[in-house]
Chains A and B, each alone.
Chain A
Amino acid sequence: MGTVMDLVLPGSQDAYADLLVKEMRAELGRIEQRLSVYRPDSDISVINRAASKGMVTLDREMAGIFNELFLFHQETRGFFDVTMKPVLDFFLEHGAAAGAVPDHITGAAGMEHLRLEGDRIRFMKKGMQIDLGGYGKGYAMRKILEIMTSKGVENALISFGGSLVYGLGSHPYGNSWKISVPVPGNSDGLTFELKDETLSTSGNSLNNRKKFGNSGHIVNPETLRTREGNGLVSVTATDPVRAEVFSTALFSAGRQRAMELARLHPDLKVGCFFV
Chain B
Amino acid sequence: METDRRDFIRTFSALAAAGVFSARMPWLSGLYAQEALRKVKLGMIGVGSRGSLLLTLLQEVPGVEITCFCDDYEPNFDRAQQMIGAGATGYTDYRKMLDQEQIDGVVIATPLDLHARMTIDALDAGLHVFCEKAMAKTYEECDLMLQAHRRNNKILYIGHQRLFSARTLKGIKEIERGSIGDVTQIRAYWHRNNDWRRPVPSPELERRINWRLYREYSCGLMTELASHHLQVANWILRENPDYVWGSGSINHWKDGREVYDNVNLVYHYPSGTHVVYDSLISNKKYGMQIEVQGPLGTIELETAYIFKEFPEPAPGILQLLNNIEKQVFDVVPVGGPTWVPEDPSEDRGTYLLERIIKSDGTDIQMASFVSDVRNNRLDPWLTEQGYSSGIATLMGYESMLSNRIVTWPEGLSL
Contacts and interface: CB of A to CB of B under 8 A. Distances in A.
Given A8-B324, A173-B324, A181-B336, A159 B331 contact: no
Given A180-B335, A208-B338, 16 more contacts: A3-B338, A4-B341, A6-B314, A8-B324, A159-B317, A161-B314, A161-B340, A162-B334, A163-B338, A173-B324, A173-B329, A174-B329, A201-B337, A205-B337, A207-B340, A232-B337
Nearest to A137: B338
B337 A202 contact: yes
B316 to A, nearest CB: 7
A43 B29 CA distance: 63
A12 B333 CA distance: 23
Contacts of A174: 329
A191 interface: yes
B331 A162 contact: no
B324 A178 contact: no
Interface string A147-163: 00000000001010111
B75 interface: no
A246 interface: no
Interface residues of B, number: 23
B345 to A, nearest CB: 13
Contacts of B414: none
Contacts of A191: 331
Interface centre among B321, B332, B340 (most CB of A within 10 A): B340
A72 to B, nearest CB: 19
Contact of B335 (A2, A8, A199): A199
Question: What are the nearest 9 A-B pairs in CB distance?
Answer: A174-B329, A181-B335, A203-B337, A173-B329, A178-B331, A163-B338, A162-B339, A205-B337, A161-B339
A3 B328 CA distance: 28
Contacts of A180: 331-335
A162 B340 contact: no
Contacts of B316: 159, 162
Contacts of B338: 2-3, 161-163, 205, 207-208
B151 to A, nearest CB: 52
A247 to B, nearest CB: 9
Contact of A179 (B313, B324, B332, B340): B332
A6 B317 contact: yes
Interface residues of A, number: 38
Interface in A99-157: 157
A29 B311 CA distance: 18
A44 to B, nearest CB: 19
A172 B336 contact: no
A208 B336 CA distance: 10
Given A159-B317, A163-B335, A178 B340 contact: no
Contacts of B328: 173
Contacts of A163: 335-339
Contacts of B82: none
A159 B320 CA distance: 12
Interface in B314-359: 314, 316-317, 320-321, 324, 327-341
Interface centre among B311, B329, B330, B335 (most CB of A within 10 A): B335
Interface centre among B338, B340, B341 (most CB of A within 10 A): B338
Nearest to A6: B317
Nearest to B329: A174
B308 to A, nearest CB: 12
7 contacts: A6-B317, A159-B316, A161-B338, A161-B339, A162-B339, A179-B332, A182-B336
| Main SS at interface, chain A | strand
A245 to B, nearest CB: 15
Nearest to B317: A6
Contact of B314 (A162, A188, A192, A201): A162
Interface centre among A10, A162, A191, A208 (most CB of B within 10 A): A162
A189 interface: yes
A60 interface: no
Given A171-B324, A173-B324, A4 B314 contact: yes
Contact of A162 (B321, B324, B336): B336
Nearest to A233: B337
A203 B310 CA distance: 26
Contact of B333 (A157, A173, A182): A182
Interface in A1-41: 2-4, 6, 8, 10
B334 to A, nearest CB: 5
Contacts of B339: 3, 161-163, 207-208
A87 interface: no
Nearest to A157: B320
A3 B339 CA distance: 7
A210 B314 CA distance: 17
Interface in B286-332: 311, 313-314, 316-317, 320-321, 324, 327-332
A211 interface: yes
A162 B332 CA distance: 11
A202 B332 CA distance: 18
A211 B337 contact: no
A205 B333 CA distance: 15
A86 B324 CA distance: 45
A157 B314 CA distance: 13
A163 B333 CA distance: 11
Given A157-B320, A159-B314, A172-B324, A179 B337 contact: no
B310 to A, nearest CB: 8
A45 interface: no
A205 B324 contact: no
A47 interface: no
Interface string A208-252: 101100000000000000000000101000000000000000000
A211 B346 CA distance: 13
Contacts of B337: 162-163, 201-205, 207-208, 232
